[in-house]
Amino acid sequence: MPDPSAPETSDNRPADTEHLDELPDDLVAHGYVGPYTFPDNKRRRIPGFMYLAVGAACLATWALAGGSSVLVNRGFAILGAALVVVGAYHVLAAYPLRIDETDALASAGREVGFAVGHASAQLGWRGLRSRPTWRILLYSADEPPAKRGLVLVDGVDGSVVAHFVEDNPEDWSEYTSAEIAGRHSPE
C-alpha cells in the first residue's frame, strides 16, 4: 500500500524519496560559469593502486594460509590475480591529459589549411590502453562554409593522429542571410 504522506509524481505515483545516484561535483556542468576543464585520466591510478593493494593482500593471505585453511582457498589466489591484472591495466591506462581543447583546436586549425569558422571538440579514447584523443570537427570561415574537416589530436603530446578534409557536401543555400531576412520581413 502506497504511503499517503509521500510526494506524488505527475502520473499520481508516489515519488521516490530515496537518493540513488549522483555525478561527482567536478563532472556536473549545469550552472557552471567559466571555462570547463575535462577531468584528467590520471585519476584512473587511484582505483588501480587500490586494486593492486587488495589483490596483493589476497595473494599474500592465500600464500600464508597454505592449503590447510578452511576459510582461505584457491579463490583467494584467483581473486588476487584478477585484481592485480585489473589494477595494472588501470595504472597503465592512466595517461595524463596534457593538451586541452583550446590547444587541440589550434593544432587542428594548422593541419586543415583553411581559415576555421565553427568548430567542435570532443574527447575520446583510442587503443587498448585508452589514450586520450581529441576529435575536432571544423568548418571553413566562409558563408556558407565551403570546406569541412575532421582532425584527431593526441591528448598527451598534441600530435595530429589523423585528419580528413573535404568540400562541404551540405546544401546551406536555404540558410543564407538574405533569404532568411526575406522570410522574416513583414509584408
What is the pLDDT, as a whole number, of residue 3? 55
Delimiting residues of CATH 3.10.450 domain(s) in the chain:
101-174
CA 131 to mean position of chain CA atoms: 11
Q: What is the DSSP letter of 99?
A: S
Which one-letter DSSP state was computed for residue 149? E
3-state SS of 80-93? HHHHHHHHHHHHHC
Supply the pLDDT for residue 34.
Answer: 63
pLDDT value at position 24? Answer: 75
**Domain 101-174 -> CATH class:** alpha beta
Closest to 101 (Cα-Cα) out of 175, 146, 151, 144: 151
Q: CA nearest 140: which of 160, 158, 165, 161?
A: 165
**One pLDDT digit (tens) per residue for the chain, 187 residues:** 555 555 555 555 555 567 777 777 766 766 666 666 667 778 889 999 999 999 999 999 999 887 677 888 888 999 999 999 999 999 998 888 888 888 888 888 888 888 888 888 888 888 888 899 999 999 888 877 888 889 999 989 989 998 888 887 777 666 665 555 555 555 5
- Beta-bridge partners for 119: 138
Distance between CA atoms of residues 45 and 42, nearest Å: 6
Q: Which long-range contacts (CB under 8 A, 24 or more apart) does 112-119 make?
A: 112/138, 112/147, 112/149, 112/151, 112/163, 112/165, 113/165, 114/140, 114/141, 114/147, 114/149, 114/165, 115/140, 115/141, 116/140, 116/141, 117/141, 117/142, 117/145, 118/145
